Amino acid sequence: MPSEEFPVQVKPFTIAIDDHHLEDLNHRLRRTRWPDAIAGNDWDDGAELRFMQRLTEYWLNEFDWRAQEARLNALPQFSAELDGLQIHFLHQRGTGPDPIPLVMTHGWPGSGFDMEQVIPLLADPGGHGADPADAFDVVVPSLPGYGFSQRPTRPGFGPRRAAELWTRLMTGLGYERFGVQAGDWGAAVSTWLASLFPDRVAGLHLNFIPGSFRPPLGDGRPPLSADEEAFLDTAAKWFDVEGGYHRLQATKPQTPAYALTDSPAGLAAWIVEKMRGWSDCDGVVERAFTLDALLTNISIYWFTGTIGSSMRFYRENRLDPNHFGPGERILPPLGVAAFPQDIMPPRSWVERVFNVTRWTQMPSGGHFGPMEAPELLVNEIREFFRPLRS
């Protein structure tokens, strides 16, 4: 039942894209204007032309949105008004003797449906060959301006505000204390949750450490270790080559929003290039994701018109980052699943601020852990939260 102090009106939600939106998409795909490409550069210059033409052809002639829509609608979906926005969320109650609540937050370019494969494993472990005592009540909100959550019409909806909204949502759902799990932007939101509301967060599990995380240094604190210096050098080199999208989205997100909101092929290229570059796929994106999985995610962005508002999240974070001062620490215990194809700092770097109680080097996987390696990630989440259930 909703709390009287934080009333939240929850309504069932069903995805229902009008036929005219499908017709408009097909019309635009048929009229795609393709850019030139330098032969032999493949993905070095960005999204490869041959792949994008094949993906667009598949989107137009073989991809079945209605089938994907029906599949997604099998998940229990709801919406709630929080701070003037209708926030979409998935809420799967656990099957077990004492499920604990777990709020999971997606990142960019995701929508919440990134968690589709992990939700049933977490909520009903007994039904998937695991111990029913490990069950969770899983709540997966879509970030403001992402997917089926309403687009903000005023500034200020960045990671800190999302953390405040999630706390209100969990209170309204009757959960006073809960676990937190996330990657990408969700890791920034979850860090704010654990920082602002430590008494509410039973444990924090991340499969990504935000690049903006910088612990305080100097003034008698331990000097940088060799591993920490190597990480900072690697991260800087990566950002110099791969960080153009980040600089643009964190400074002028409105400008690319015009093109990406108008062109489905342009939207697909913007997203697929990252799905390939950040995943454990050896440069072949279909080793990590099917074309249907890629296009379902892209189609959600297209039909909801949320690529601009999703990119604005970067600017909001730049204007209100989570920086730590001397003596500040994140109190709830932290578990980390470090996937090998993601850029992750050494444990010592994170321990400067966080209370790290579990750190696991994963055998495979990249930035999109819930989609690339759902079983591996779920096992880590279970292991981390097991001693925190009492």
Report the catalytic residues: 184, 314, 367
Quick one: tokens of 93? 């109650």
Q: Which residue's entry shows tokens 């939700």? A: 119
Q: Report d(CA 311, CA 337) in Å as an integer.
A: 26
Beta bridge partners of 140: 90
Beta bridge partners of 179: 102, 203
Query: Could you give the 3-state DSSP secondary structure of residue 248?
Result: helix
Quick one: tokens of 202? 């039973």
Beta bridge partners of 336: 206, 359
Query: Could you give the 3-state DSSP secondary structure of residue 369?
Result: helix
Q: Report d(CA 321, CA 341) in Å as an integer.
A: 25
Of 194, 209, 188, the closest CA to residue 349 belongs to: 209
User: Do 191 and 105 form a contact (C-beta atoms < 8 A)?
Assistant: no
DSSP string, 295-320: HHHHHHHHHHT-HHHHHHHHHHHHHS
Residue 172's region, left for phi above 0, alpha for psi from -120 to 50, else beta, is alpha
Of 275, 248, 298, 305, the closest CA to residue 371 belongs to: 275
User: Do 79 and 89 form a contact (C-beta atoms < 8 A)?
Assistant: yes
Q: Report d(CA 139, CA 175) in Å as an integer.
A: 11
Alpha-carbon distance values, 336 to 104, 111, 246, 377 (Å)? 14, 22, 24, 10
Cα within 13 Å of Cα(217), Cβ side? 10
Residue environment code for 58-71, b if the CB has 16+ CB neighbours within 10 A, otherwise e: ebbeebebeebbee
